[in-house]
Amino acid sequence: MKKIIYAFLLIAVAGCDDGDIIIEDFSFDGIDLKACLPQATDGSRNYVFYKVDNTNFESLSLQFTTNEEIFNVDDTYGPFDIGPANTVEYRKYDAAPGTDYFCSSVPPAEPRVNDALKSAAGRFFITTENQSLTSQAALTNTEAPNVDTDNDGVPSNQEPSGQDTDGDGLEDKVDFDDDGDNVPTVDEGVVIIDGVVSISMSRDTDGDGILDYLDNDDDGDGILTIQEDLNGDLDPRNDMTGTLPNYLNPSVATAASPAIDLFKEHSYSRTAQLTLRLENLILTRDNEEVVFDNFNNFGTFIRPQYQVRVTPDFTEMESTNP
Ligand SMILES: [Ca+2]
Ligand SMILES: [Ca+2]
Ligand SMILES: [Ca+2]
Ligand SMILES: [Ca+2]
């Protein structure tokens, strides 16, 4: 079997003049990584990431299926094996493929594919970050006073990284109900002065030093706010005795029966940045095996700001009150 090494870092292998090795100029550097996104928002989904070089009439694509939340949750995913289900393909065309070649439901007949290399082995990883938060981390309060990814009235830089007050899996930065009591933070009396949460001006109904937006028993009556939702509509704000909602009234301490065991649907905005890394990729053409040398970085894809909707799994909570 003849073995060909395609070199992405041409300089690194220039001078290799082995009879069995053919070096081709095969670089997608400087070409944007694009993607076809699935319509479905959960379950097993099919993705295509691709680079199209309309000058050299060639493309490189990766298609794979996963049920992991590769766009919505910051993490490193993989390794995903490249094999029958997850494939990489290089194509050379007789004309420029244009911008719409991928992602159409019916494969375009034009331009014609002159040459194709298909994957035989390898693996890949995906690293996902919320770019709207990572870029904001470098800004000061005055530069980014209005960045509020969860739209909860508290600027994102006032919600510490890694803090998840209610333990529902959404950091406070992306949680519009920080204490998980089904009363949105925006309705918990937070006062922002000069871009900073004012401890003295913000509401603390029971005066225990924990502001209402971080206190899951706002009136300190021993019944968690989420359970003072007697009509069970996941909104404690409309369960009133007289003019006062029960969750702000310590003299009314009645828990819903059956107990509330659901959170409301949450939403937040996000700019997803995905970096794709390939390892040990082997492509084949007929009987030739093509080893990709020095090619690891497939590129970075940015999905512009979009809304994520998610209903966190309910977590049983202890009262935050002493
Ligand atoms: Ca929040
Ligand atoms: Ca709340
Ligand atoms: Ca309190
Ligand atoms: Ca109460």
Annotated domain spans of the chain: 3-131+268-308
Q: What pLDDT shows up at residue 21? A: 37
What spacing in Å lies between the alpha carbon of 147 and ligand 3's midpoint? 26
What spacing in Å lies between the alpha carbon of 208 and ligand 3's midpoint? 5
The structure tokens listed for 137 are 């981390």
CA atoms within 13 A on the CB side of 73: 13
Site of tokens 């029971």: 206
Cβ neighbours of 202 (radius 10 Å): 18
Q: What pLDDT shows up at residue 232? A: 97
The residues that bridge with 130 in the sheet, in sequence order, are 272
Relative to the alpha carbon of 211, which ligand is closest? 3
What spacing in Å lies between the alpha carbon of 318 and ligand 1's midpoint? 20
Rg (CA), the chain: 27
The structure tokens listed for 128 are 């996902």
Cα gap 62→237, rounded to integer Å: 49
Mean pLDDT per 10-residue interval, the chain, length 322 residues = 47 36 61 92 93 94 96 94 93 93 87 92 94 62 68 92 93 96 98 94 98 98 98 98 97 97 94 94 82 79 92 84 68
What spacing in Å lies between the alpha carbon of 215 and ligand 2's midpoint? 8
What spacing in Å lies between the alpha carbon of 150 and ligand 1's midpoint? 6
Spell 4-13 as b/e; 16+ CB within 10 A means b. bbbbbeeeee
What spacing in Å lies between the alpha carbon of 150 and ligand 3's midpoint? 22
Q: Strand locations in 255-296, DSSP E?
A: 266-285, 288-293
The structure tokens listed for 94 are 């007789």
Residues surrounding ion ligand 3 at CB below 5 Å: 204, 206, 208, 210, 215
Secondary structure (3-state) at 78: strand
Q: What pLDDT shows up at residue 19? A: 29
- Start-to-end CA distance of the chain, whole Å, equals 73
What spacing in Å lies between the alpha carbon of 233 and ligand 3's midpoint? 23
Q: What pLDDT shows up at residue 319? A: 79
Cα gap 144→261, rounded to integer Å: 36
What spacing in Å lies between the alpha carbon of 222 and ligand 3's midpoint? 12
The residues that bridge with 211 in the sheet, in sequence order, are none
Site of tokens 């379950």: 43
Q: What pLDDT shows up at residue 233? A: 97
What spacing in Å lies between the alpha carbon of 183 and ligand 3's midpoint? 14
Question: Cβ(296)–Cβ(276) under 8 Å?
Answer: no
